[in-house]
Every structure is written in C-alpha cells, then in structure tokens.
C-alpha cells in the first residue's frame, strides 16, 4: 500500500508565500507562524486540487483570481462584542460628552478600521444609539472596513451568537436587551434603526484611496500587531489624515505607539489624539 504524505511547507515556499502575504496585505508572518500558514493554505490546496505548495505558488503568481481567497485565508479575524470594556466606558462617557458639547447638532462620524466580522462596529452602534436616545440632536454614522471580503460579507449580515455576544450580554444586560434583536437559536442583530447607520466596505490600510471623509473617532484595534514597525508607521500616517484635528484614535490593548514615529500623542493607554490639539489635555 502506498502512503500519500501531506504536502509540507518548506523554508523556500514559506519565504515566497510570506513575501506574497506582505505584498498583498502588509501582514508580516514570522517563521514561528509557519504551521499556521501551512494549515490554513492546505485547505486551498485541497479545494484547488493542487499537489503541493510549489504548485500553489505557481498558481497564485499566474493569476490574480486567487488573490482574494488567499488574502481571506491568511488574515486573522478574532473579534467579539464589547472587547476591552475600558475602551467602551471611555467612549460612552468622556469621549461622547466632550464631543457632544463641542458639536451640537452635528453627526459624529466613526471608523472601525479593521472591522473583521463587525462586532466592534455594532458595539459602537449600540453605544451611540443609547447616547442618542438621551441626547436630543445627536446623530452618528459608522463605517467598518477590512481587507478580507468574507468578513465584510458577514459583518454586513450582522448576525451573531455564542462567544461573539457573550461578554456584551453579561456585562451590559440592559443595553443588550434594549438594542439587540433575536434569539439564541437564530442569533442576534442590532436593532434596524442602529443597523441603518452602519456600513461595511473594503479598504486596504496599505492602499489608501483619496480621503473622502474625516472621522472624529477611529478604532484601529488589534491589527497593528500584524505589521512591522515600519509598516505600522505607514498605516498611522494614513489614519492620521482621516482623523479630525480634535478626533480620537483607539488602538488594541496589546498595542502601543510608544517608540513609533507618529503624529499622535497619548491621552490614556491605547487612546490617542493628534499632536498639538486641545482635546485630551483634560483627560491626560
């Protein structure tokens, strides 16, 4: 009996694929993540009926048709509602009170800049709606963007269950009961009047289009960790252009701009503002 062994991702193929990942997404895959890359791409090999990684590399280099599936396979999309409660407390209180006082009658524009399956953008939606319901004249729009087309699709549907909503339901039961619609069998969505203020679209942080809108609040959470220091600085320049001069940038709890060259200064851990603006001096 002949045993057919599974294809192995050798050093040479790993280096070529890691270079391709970087070229398409800006993500740097370190050698210690080789098994992860191998496991994920094995599924593509099976789907495409390719015998080994060498053939896959030839295929991906011969057609851009595979790029979307490749990118969707290599991104890490871990997320859930109400991730890092401290941030949401800050947004619901200090940030919103300051912004509303200074911008009566205006619409608050928010960008979830690596939105994955949309839990972050929908959490913002619930908090904004709760504020709107008690502050006449306040309104908001939320844009979620990602490089992975499959998560954009899921975010647009916005149906959640299990671990995705668990923390939010436990920590904010009143908000959950008031603004989430559905049940444990079919899943939950944010209420329709919240959903209509949220849109999701494709955006590669390394291939920015012209600045069409600037935001007062940008969440760039748990994505910088996948980039080299140099690439992080590039992304921060793109984000800086899109943040209002009095706006606030929030990054992930395991991330920091300390030691990076950027035009942001810290207000609180993981919360930043433009250099040389008045906002934040109070909170600092």
Binding site for ligand SAM (CB under 6 A): 25-27, 75-79, 83, 114, 116, 120, 146-148, 151, 203-206, 221-223, 226, 252
Q: Judged by CB, which is closer to ligand SAM: 7, or 26?
A: 26
User: How far apart are CB 30 and ligand SAM at their closest, in Å?
Assistant: 15
What is the DSSP code string of 99-123? HHHHSTTPEEEEEETT-TTSHHHHH
For residue 125, count other CB atoms closer than 10 A to its CB: 26
Q: Please give the sequence-ordered ranges of beta strands (E in DSSP) within the chain, or none if there are none.
A: 107-112, 139-146, 180-183, 187-190, 198-202, 215-220, 243-251, 264-268, 271-274
Give the C-alpha separation, 27 to 75, whole Å.
8
Give the C-alpha separation, 123 to 41, whole Å.
32
User: How far apart are CB 6 and ligand SAM at their closest, in Å?
Assistant: 27
Give the C-alpha separation, 137 to 132, whole Å.
8
User: How far apart are CB 72 and ligand SAM at their closest, in Å?
Assistant: 8
Q: Judged by CB, which is closer to ligand SAM: 22, or 178?
A: 22
Q: Judged by CB, which is closer to ligand SAM: 116, or 129?
A: 116
User: How far apart are CB 156 and ligand SAM at their closest, in Å?
Assistant: 14
Q: Judged by CB, which is closer to ligand SAM: 100, or 154?
A: 154
User: How far apart are CB 121 and ligand SAM at their closest, in Å?
Assistant: 9
Q: Judged by CB, which is closer to ligand SAM: 38, or 120?
A: 120
Q: Judged by CB, which is closer to ligand SAM: 27, or 279?
A: 27
User: How far apart are CB 149 and ligand SAM at their closest, in Å?
Assistant: 10
Q: Judged by CB, which is closer to ligand SAM: 170, or 254?
A: 254
User: How far apart are CB 263 and ligand SAM at their closest, in Å?
Assistant: 20
Give the C-alpha separation, 123 to 83, whole Å.
9
**111: closest CA among 207, 211, 197, 218?**
218
Kindly provide the b/e burial profile for residues 139-174, where b requires at least 16 CB atoms within 10 angstroms of the residue's own CB: ebbbbbbbbbebbbebbeebebeeebbebbeeebee
- Give me the sign of the Cα torsion angle 264, 266, 270, 271: negative
């Amino acid at each position: 009996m002949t045993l057919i062994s599974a294809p192995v991702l050798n050093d040479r193929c790993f280096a070529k694929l890691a270079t391709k990942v970087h070229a398409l997404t800006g993500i740097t895959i370190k050698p210690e993540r080789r098994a992860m890359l191998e496991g994920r791409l094995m599924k593509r090999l099976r789907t495409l009926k390719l015998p080994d990684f060498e053939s896959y590399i030839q295929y991906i280099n011969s057609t851009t048709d595979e790029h979307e599936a490749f990118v969707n396979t290599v991104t890490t999309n871990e997320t859930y509602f109400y991730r890092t409660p401290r941030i949401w407390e800050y947004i619901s209180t200090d940030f919103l009170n300051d912004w509303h006082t200074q911008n009566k009658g205006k619409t608050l524009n928010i960008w979830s800049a690596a939105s994955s399956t949309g839990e972050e953008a929908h959490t913002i939606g619930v908090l904004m709606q709760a504020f709107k319901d008690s502050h006449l004249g306040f309104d908001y729009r939320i844009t979620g963007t990602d490089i992975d087309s499959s998560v954009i699709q899921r975010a647009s549907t916005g149906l959640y269950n299990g671990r995705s909503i668990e923390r939010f339901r436990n920590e904010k039961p009143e908000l959950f009961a008031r603004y989430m619609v559905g049940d444990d069998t079919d899943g939950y969505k944010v209420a329709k009047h919240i959903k209509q203020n949220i849109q999701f679209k494709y955006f590669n942080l390394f291939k920015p289009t012209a600045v069409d809108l600037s935001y007062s609040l940008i969440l760039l959470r748990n994505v910088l960790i996948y980039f080299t220091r140099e690439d992080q600085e590039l992304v921060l320049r793109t984000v800086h252009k899109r943040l209002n001069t009095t706006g606030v940038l929030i990054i992930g709890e395991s991330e920091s701009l300390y030691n990076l060259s950027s035009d942001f200064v810290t207000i609180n851990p993981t919360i930043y503002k433009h250099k040389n603006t008045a906002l934040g001096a109070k909170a600092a």
